[in-house]
């Protein structure tokens, strides 16, 4: 049986006050995301909230998952909390906008996009990683950025857009389709990312997650990841906010991944289990 693990991180207020004002929804939404994972068939769940969401705790889960999961297995990671941009140390790389790194604000420190990509490089080929991130500048947490041919709704095509790929065939009128990126960043697994906003935008506290839960509708939603993304993006609450959710793929080419039923795994029985 294919294995599936999930990790859900929520931090309302990091320990260092410089990270910003206290958020209202992040920790509650991490619990709700774990509930969504359970509804979708995940039985190995780990939730890290507030002070528990440290660099060491995240390291233990991601490193443990990388040593456990093999071809055909799945990892689902979600983060809700503050996000920041930081000036890069050393020469600027072409994958970062204007020499800035993006980072999640964990309880004890920043968790840089470069470090996250380092964990993704540990996973075997054939592993699928789903990442849902709700944080300011979250669209840059794949360390790819909003570069290359892009398109979307209501604005000229020269402006950055949510980027996806699905081979050569059109997926939906509202999306520009491009091939898998030539540089997979050394990631051998396939990574599908849903983010609350672009890498140059702020995310409203809880807006993306709450909208996603509404669309998911306690598991009644039966569309693909593409369908989910479009419904969340076009939701009446999200649209006037100016916040643009994003869907992207990096790592190994896997055009079938975003066409799968959103979040769902094969039916499993038994109570949820925690893993370390």
Report percent pLDDT > 70 for the chain.
70
Which pLDDT tens digit goes with each residue over 65-120?
999 999 999 999 999 998 777 755 544 444 444 567 778 889 998 888 888 999 99
Q: Model-level pTM?
A: 0.80
pLDDT digits (tens, 9 = 90+) for 12-54: 988 866 556 788 899 999 999 999 999 999 999 999 999 999 9
Phi and psi angles of residue 7, each rounded to the nearest 5 degrees, phi first? -130, 130
Share of the chain above pLDDT 90, in %: 44
244: confidence class by pLDDT, cuts 50, 70, 90:
confident
Considering the chain, what is the average pLDDT of its residues?
Answer: 77
Tens of pLDDT, residues 168-206 = 344 443 343 344 555 678 899 999 999 888 767 777 888
**Is the pLDDT at 7 greater than 90, yes or no?**
yes
Q: Which domains does the chain have, with CATH numbers?
A: 4-259 (3.40.50.1460)
Instruction: Measure the CA–CA gap between 185 and 85, rounded to whole angstroms.
Output: 20
Within a 10 A sphere around the Cβ of 21, how many other Cβ atoms? 10
């Amino acid at each position: 049986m294919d294995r599936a693990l999930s990790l859900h991180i929520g931090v309302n207020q990091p320990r260092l006050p410089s990270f910003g004002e206290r958020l209202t929804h992040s920790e509650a939404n991490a619990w709700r995301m774990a509930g969504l994972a359970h509804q979708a068939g995940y039985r190995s769940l780990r939730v890290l909230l507030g002070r528990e969401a440290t660099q060491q705790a995240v390291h233990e889960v991601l490193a443990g998952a990388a040593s456990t999961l093999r071809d055909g297995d799945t990892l689902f990671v979600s983060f809700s909390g503050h996000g920041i941009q930081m000036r890069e140390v050393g020469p600027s790389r072409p994958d970062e906008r204007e020499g800035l790194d993006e980072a999640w604000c964990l309880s004890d420190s920043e968790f840089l996009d470069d470090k996250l990509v380092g964990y993704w490089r540990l996973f075997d080929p054939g592993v699928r990683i789903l990442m849902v991130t709700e944080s300011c500048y979250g669209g840059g947490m794949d360390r790819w950025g909003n570069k290359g041919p892009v398109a979307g709704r209501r604005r000229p095509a020269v402006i950055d857009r949510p980027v996806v790929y699905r081979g050569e065939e059109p997926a939906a009128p509202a999306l520009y389709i491009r091939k898998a990126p030539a540089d997979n960043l050394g990631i051998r697994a396939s990574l599908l990312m849903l983010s609350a906003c672009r890498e140059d935008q702020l995310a409203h506290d809880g807006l993306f997650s709450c909208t996603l839960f509404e669309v998911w509708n306690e598991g009644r939603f039966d569309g693909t990841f593409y369908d989910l993304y479009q419904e969340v993006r076009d939701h009446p609450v999200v649209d006037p906010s100016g916040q643009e959710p994003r869907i992207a793929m990096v790592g190994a080419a896997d055009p079938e991944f975003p066409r799968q039923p959103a979040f769902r795994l094969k039916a499993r029985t038994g109570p949820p289990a925690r893993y370390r």
